[in-house]
Structure 1
Amino acid sequence: MAKIKITLKKSLIGKPETQRRTVASLGLRKLQHSVELEDTPQLRGQVAKISHLVSVEEN
């Protein structure tokens, strides 16, 4: 399967707990931290919830 690269671009300060947990479940820790994950419908749903906080690159 294809992989996507997700990078945390915005701070979590003042964001709801659900968004914080979604970011943590993706494995993102700090600003500008990136992870490469398998592209699945479940992952796309998580990214959609926090799309205003991250950038996504398809590989």
Structure 2
Amino acid sequence: MAQLKITLKRSVTHRLPKQRKIVKALGLGRVNSTVVKPDNESIRGALFQIAHLIEVEQVKD
């Protein structure tokens, strides 16, 4: 299964509370923090909600 490397590129201050919760649930804390998550529908849905705050790359297994 493919993996996604997710990097927070913009601050979550002054964002909607829902967006802040999504960022925290993904495990992103500060700007330029990075996590690797599996590529599935639930993760993709969360990423769509905060697409303007993040950068996503596909990681080869």
- Bucket of the pairwise TM-score, normalised by the shorter protein: over 0.9
Counterparts of 2:50 and 2:37, CA distance in 1? 16
> Which blocks of at least 5 consecutive residues in structure 1 are unaligned?
none
The sequence identity of aligned pairs, in percent, is: 39
Counterparts of 2:41 and 2:12, CA distance in 1? 24
Partner residue, 1:52: 52
Q: CA deviation at 1:13?
A: 1.3
Partner residue, 1:16: 16
Provide the aligned length of Structure 1 versus Structure 2: 59
The alignment's TM-score, normalised by the length of structure 2, stands at: 0.94
Q: Secondary structure at the match of 1:56?
A: strand
Moved over 6 A (4+): none
Letter in 1 for 2:3: K
